[in-house]
Amino acid sequence: MEEQLLKKRITELRKRAEYTYGTEFTDFLTLSEIDTVKSVLHGANYMFYGGMENTERCMLCIAHEDIEIMPEMFPIRSVLVQPKNMKFAECFGHRDVLGSVLGLGLAREVIGDIFIREKEALVLCTEQIAVFLTEHLVQVRHTNVVCTISESSEQDFQKEYQYISRTVSAVRIDTIAAAAFGISRSSATSAVSAGKVFINGREITTPSTSVKEDDVISFRGLGKAKLKEIGGLTKKGRITVSLERYR
């Protein structure tokens, strides 16, 4: 039912954009929601963008066919979260920051990706929420913080990668997910079947789905990884693969 309501809403936004010769935006969508709405966007002029490159949560812009959609058109702002006293501050985790933000009564849909850099965080959010955060987000865990609307980029909060080299029996999503996230193949197979694994933002439910070089695999609850290289065969007939997993 929720999927049908989402599709109906996107269809209405598309009609409105065409009627008004303008643009329409959603709040931040999850990977699963992005996959769902693509089914009603055939032939439309649209763009997904989350405020920076390679974000997981993205807004959707639907525009009249004569409008060129640009990233700077999206109503997204970056809020920099810093301790008032860096010396005595705790290191932040993603859950810590998200929990403090949602604790202010905000809906998850108005918050995009969150990037962490030791004792600081960068929160992507809707334009109208940015000022609210600067005024009301004053504590993360036990640390008093100050928030400012920032021009900081993802590169300033660059995620580190864990480089992984493994051998697999086949280059399919269940074996690659198992190798990337350090779980058993049976667990990966179950997760894929349950709709918890995505390739390039597209929900995958068939464990035998092939994975290509440079595909980004998102595993709900475990993170994200990229298949960097598919190598040759070992003497035992297994395939060598190299991956980058976001830390």
Please identify, among 157, 179, 211, the residue that sits at the C-terminal boundary of a domain: 157
Q: What domain count does the chain have?
A: 3
Same domain, yes or no, for 40 and 55? Answer: yes
CB distance 71 to 49 below 8 Å = yes
Among 107, 97, 134, smallest CA distance to 27 is for 107
CA-angle at 55, arms to 52 and 57, nearest 5°: 120
CA distances from 55 to 114, 119, 142, 175, 215 (A): 9, 21, 28, 24, 14
Please identify, among 31, 54, 73, the residue that sits at the C-terminal boundary of a domain: 73
Same domain, yes or no, for 226 and 165? Answer: yes
Domain that holds residue 151: 76-157
Tens digit of each residue's pLDDT (9 = 90 or more) over 1-39: 588 999 999 999 999 999 999 999 999 998 889 888 988
Tens digit of each residue's pLDDT (9 = 90 or more) over 144-195: 999 999 876 555 665 567 899 999 999 999 999 999 999 999 999 999 999 9
Print burial letters for 94-118: b (CB count within 10 Å at least 16), e (below 16).
eebbbebbeeeebeeebbbbbbbbe
Return the CATH number at 170: 3.10.290.10
Same domain, yes or no, for 62 and 94? Answer: no
Return the CATH number at 68: 3.30.1370.160
Spatial separation of the C-alpha atoms in residues 39 and 146, rounded to whole Å = 41
Spatial separation of the C-alpha atoms in residues 149 and 131, rounded to whole Å = 8
Return the CATH number at 103: 3.30.70.330
Same domain, yes or no, for 169 and 238? Answer: yes
pTM of the predicted structure, to 2 decimals: 0.76
**Kind plus residue range of the DSSP H or E element containing 197:** strand 197-199
